[in-house]
Structure 1
Amino acid sequence: MKNLFPAIALLSLVSCKKELPKDPPINEVSVKEEGTDTIKSKTVKDALYMEFKPKTISNLKISGFDVSKAFSIGENTIAVGSYSALDGKITLPDTEENFGKRLLLLNNKNQIIYTSQGSGEAYLYEPHFYKNNQNGNIIIVCQQAFEYFFGGDAYLLQSGTIKHIGNLDIEPNNEEKSLTDILKIKESKDEIIFTFNADSLVLKPGNEDIIIKNNNNTQYIYNHQSLKLHQ
């Protein structure tokens, strides 16, 4: 009888061990959770700006302003052109420091609510449009050129208002392509990031002291206060 009690105790212990559920390895669970969180944050925080072509407006008339191109975006109109010159001379509102082709924003009554700085003697000031489909914001990049391309001005169109965020003073090291041919834009957290799909880049393309460099993740980053080059 004395030998029976240890045997019963041992049998009970073995039975309890068999009934215990198997927990998954701790490392495996943590890896899965981290992976899920990473995917969610990328989906929420990162958004690409996709290039699109808004509806064009023909024969738009603005008093004293020669319209070269005009586009309809929501209730607003984007127009590009220049103020009319008198006998080939600069006249107000142009000045010797602020003249040339420029961008205008008009409201639904065709009233001018924004006028950009003039682009000087640039032959080309051509707007390209990029939209963030998550928040509806639009980036406008006006490609500039003389006999050659020399970067572009970037604007942020948001809820019917527009802001000049800076100049992208950069071009591909390829005369057959322009900035807007290689430009990629995304929004991540509180920044808008401009990257360039080219192996070699030209910095300060409109200046005498140009810099040719390999594209090692060269970026312009706008933090809603300033636009800065990172290289």
Structure 2
Amino acid sequence: MDIIKNRNPNIFLFFLGFLGIVSIIPLIPKVLALQSAPLPMSLELIQVISVLQSSILLLCMVWLGSVCSKKVGLSSPVIVALTQSQNIIKALKPQIIPALIGGVLGGVCITLFLGILSPSLPPEFLIAGAKFTPAWYTKVLYGGITEELLIRWGLMSFLVWGSYRLTQNNGSDVRTHNYITAIVVSALIFGLGHLPIAFTLSPEVTVSLVTYIILGNATFGFIAGYLYWKHGLECAIVAHMIAHITMILAASFT
């Protein structure tokens, strides 16, 4: 613990996000197996390049979040407390209940959304999706930590700042509409970001498939964005982890 204290919070955020990147390495061969074209290079080299690309993107978004979040009142209170010798329990305690509620609510909503739309989704997508399901640790680490650093910490913080600078005078208090705009836009981008893998899994692209992918993921994005705004980055991270755990548990009963 002493090694962590008095360190730059960004270094710790990047390290946490990098754990998520490493967790997707076993998933890369499964993605490549879905493609009929021969590999342009060895699998090992593709994995290395994928990790490097993801790491560079993560590094940029951690930096962007660190700059923009301070300007608009967004924060990562637990990480700051952990790295600056402050009271971690005091920082974490207000986040626990909102994260639990948001995570369970998000997981239930996505599960119900899939249940409602599954009869109209392409059968190939459902079959391939069942085979392609990432390991639980990838969902928790990459989904819970890395995606939150990319989408909430980096993108949403930037969007709040950008909306603020476009609609208000510099130095004035950041108004609610800037946060709401950023929450909605970042959540929709989060949903859109899942389309490429969905199209890889399904040879047929339907309105139901696109609707499920975008709105299903964006629904949780709205929840996570609100939690980040009101309670801090760690609240969104824990909620994202709980959402995946909720979906895993729900799937085990179907």
Alignment TM-score, normalising by the size of structure 1? 0.19
User: Quick check: which one's strand share is greater?
Assistant: 1
**Structure with higher RCO (Cα < 8 A, 6+ apart):** 2
TM-score, length-scaled by structure 2: 0.18
Q: Which structure shows the bigger proportion of residues in helix conformation?
A: 2
